[in-house]
Homo-oligomer: A and B are copies of this chain.
Amino acid sequence: MGLFLSHMKLFGMTNMQPTLEINLAGIRMKNPVMVASGTFGYGPEYADLVDLNQLGAIVVKGISMESWGGNKTPRMVEVPGGLINAIGLQNPGTKGFTEKYMPFLRKYDVAVIVNIWGKTLEEYAAVAEWFDTVEGVHALEINISCPNVKAGGSSFGVHLDSTARVVAAVRAKTKLPLIPKLAPNVSDIGAFAKVCEDNGADALSLINSFPAMAIDIETRKPILANVSGGLSGPAIHPIAVKLVYEAAKAVKIPLIAIGGITSAKEAIEFMIAGASAVAVGTANFTEPLTALQVIDGLSDYLARHKMSKVQELVRSIKL
């Protein structure tokens, strides 16, 4: 009997291999750990350091219909617990990206999610239409929340009506899973989540970086050429957890949580709060192996807590 028990124990400890596999709104992933748009390039940049096949998904840097030059430099400044970036969505455009990077990405067995943006409703729709037929694209993340472009970007994401219009316009042009990416600087994230769900979103990403600013007190000039930018990194994590928790109460579609993940701890926190998957952003710069470490840490945690599937963690908060 004691022997039997200890066998059970042994079994539980050693043989239990929790499954991390998920199917997020039709996107099959080996695990729920992705890399966030703009922090991992288009794939090749980190390929020497990170085995892309081990990632849940790669979300590429934001793509617009035509190539776009972005903002002047300086484009980034480090602040305590994070950084402020104002890249300004520089990208090679739909054609440039598809020709230059899709052949590379197709060689890997990893979900590819393209982050798209436009300066007008029509541009959003056009980009969606383009990617609808591009082989190897698994889903579209709609960036309606970039704090660093004058037109488009965030200006869409902070109004319910324009958010609804963008999502509907994109929905009309593609059968790909659609993932609107929400802006953090709103007072009622639930309403934005709901309006996306109602207009055909299959999942939601939250959150994008926070409008923020740093000034050089000696020159009295803004440090970023764009004056302000978006704050990301550990500093914003507790705010992101709250937003994910609120969004989870408002919608049924799965959530991809983003914001200040540096280890499995923050990822697990996000999933308990309501996220089905997570994306690592700024931490890729600090420690390129972060996403892989999160995957391992998540697996260990599930085993330790006797969970056989990662899904058991999702929305498991105890109130």
Residues of A within 8 A of B (CB): 79-82, 84, 158-159, 183, 185-188, 210-215, 217, 219-222, 227-228, 231, 234-239, 241-242, 245, 265, 268-269, 272-273, 301, 316-319
CB distance from A159 to the nearest CB of B (A): 8
A215 near B241: Cβ-Cβ < 8 Å: yes
**Residue among B227, B231, B238, B268 making CB contact with A319, cutoff 8 Å:** B227
List of B residues within 8 angstroms of A79 by Cβ: 237-238
- Which B residues touch A217, using CB under 8 A? 265, 268-269, 272, 301
Interface pairs (16), CB distance under 8 Å:
A82-B235, A158-B188, A159-B187, A185-B185, A185-B187, A186-B186, A187-B187, A212-B241, A213-B238, A215-B273, A217-B269, A220-B318, A221-B318, A221-B319, A228-B242, A231-B238
Cα of A36 to Cα of B190 in the assembled complex, Å: 30
User: CA of A159 to CA of B187 in the docked complex: distance in angstroms?
Assistant: 9
4 tightest A-B contacts by CB? A158-B187, A81-B81, A212-B238, A235-B235
| Nearest chain B residue, comparing its CB with the CB of A215 | B269
Distance in angstroms between the alpha carbons of A80 and B259 in the assembled complex: 13
Specify which chain B residues have a CB less than 8 angstroms from the CB of A237 in the assembled complex.
79-80
Beta-carbon contact of B213 and A273 below 8 Å: yes
Whole-angstrom CA separation of A231 from B81 in the bound complex: 14
With a CB–CB cut-off of 8 A, which chain B residues contact A231? 238-239
| A203–B43 CA distance with the chains assembled, in angstroms | 50
Partner of A186, one of B84, B185, B301: B185
Q: Is the CB of A317 within 8 A of B222?
A: yes
A290 to chain B, nearest CB (A): 15
Min distance, Cβ A165 to any Cβ of chain B, angstroms: 17
Given contacts A79-B237, A215-B317, A235-B236, 15 further A-B contacts (CB under 8 A): A80-B81, A80-B235, A81-B234, A82-B235, A211-B239, A212-B238, A215-B241, A217-B265, A217-B268, A217-B301, A220-B316, A220-B317, A220-B318, A221-B317, A227-B319
